[in-house]
């Protein structure tokens, strides 16, 4: 790498006879960072993901340009610049991850952008074969493992993901305290946690009580049904039910 860095610095910045070759090498490395970014972004855009062609091209080319600066200046700051690229792109990727309706989205897109930056770093070093191979494997991985992930997703979700059960009950206003205590004490499951309990007036002397339970692991529908059944045995309860949020 030391010889390659010195040669590239000499040809581009200080060379005389080798200026044309140095400029050609410069254009080739930048172009190589753009081409894989285009195909990676094309795959993302075709499959309907938010980060498409332009985003992946800019990240790949940006990583390449940042890495080429120490190469062109002849310094030994390559590894430090690479570490900054890793942390900088990681911060950028965190902006495309968001939580919606209890599920986290954008993880695959963020990981793809991170890998695109790595392809740009490989392109800047002149390792063309490595850069093309890495980009090809990234595209194939996204295309090949996407159907597999979709098929096993329901199994993983039913066994491991978190769910929120909402239990609601309408009762006489005089029995509000009793029903709230009954909801809390009726939960005997150790993996079902009460996260919210609130009351609101309905009409007249009726009060609606809502309780949200966080379920970790397997589904707790039977526990929710058991709590509702116990509430319905109380004479002051007019209505009771549960739903999965």
> What are the tens digits of pLDDT across the range 86-115?
777 777 777 666 654 445 567 777 888 888
Q: Tokens 């074969």 correspond to what residue?
A: 129
- pLDDT at site 98: 61
Give the whole-angstrom CA distance, residue 100 versus residue 32: 37
pLDDT in tens, 123-143: 887 778 888 888 888 888 888
Asked if 162 contacts 102 with a C-beta cutoff of 8 angstroms, the reply is yes
List, for the chain, all residue ranges whose pLDDT scores fall below the cut of 70: 1-22, 74, 76, 95-105, 150, 152-161, 217-219
pLDDT attached to residue 159: 45
Residues 120 and 64 sit within 8 Å (Cβ to Cβ): yes
pTM, rounded to two decimals: 0.51
Handedness of CA 70, 5, 90, 51 (dihedral sign): positive
- Domain map of the chain by residue range? 2-158, 161-244
Query: What is the pLDDT at residue 156?
Result: 46
CATH architecture of 161-244: 2-Layer Sandwich (3.30)
Report pLDDT for 163.
80
What is the structure's pLDDT at 124? 82
């Amino acid at each position: 790498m030391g010889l390659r860095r010195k040669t590239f610095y000499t040809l581009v910045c200080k060379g005389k006879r080798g200026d044309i070759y140095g400029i050609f090498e410069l254009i080739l490395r930048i172009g190589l960072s753009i081409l894989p970014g285009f195909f990676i972004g094309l795959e993302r855009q075709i499959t309907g993901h938010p980060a498409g062609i332009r985003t992946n091209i800019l990240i790949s080319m940006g990583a390449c340009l940042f890495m080429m600066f120490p190469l062109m200046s002849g310094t030994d700051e390559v590894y430090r610049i690479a570490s900054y690229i890793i942390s900088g792109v990681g911060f950028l990727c965190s902006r495309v991850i968001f939580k919606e309706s209890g599920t986290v989205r954008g993880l695959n897109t963020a990981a793809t952008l991170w890998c695109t930056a790595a392809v740009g770093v490989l392109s800047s070093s002149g390792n063309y074969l490595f850069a093309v191979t890495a980009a090809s494997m990234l595209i194939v991985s996204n295309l090949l493992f996407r159907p597999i992930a979709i098929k096993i997703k329901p199994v993983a979700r039913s066994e491991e993901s978190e769910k929120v059960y909402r239990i609601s009950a309408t009762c006489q206003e005089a029995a509000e305290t009793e029903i709230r205590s009954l909801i809390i004490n009726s939960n005997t499951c150790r993996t079902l946690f009460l996260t919210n309990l609130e009351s609101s007036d309905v009409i007249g002397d009726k009060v609606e009580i809502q309780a949200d339970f966080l379920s970790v692991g397997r589904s707790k529908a039977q526990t929710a049904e058991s709590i509702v059944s116990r509430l319905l045995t109380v004479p002051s309860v007019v209505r009771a039910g549960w739903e999965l949020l």
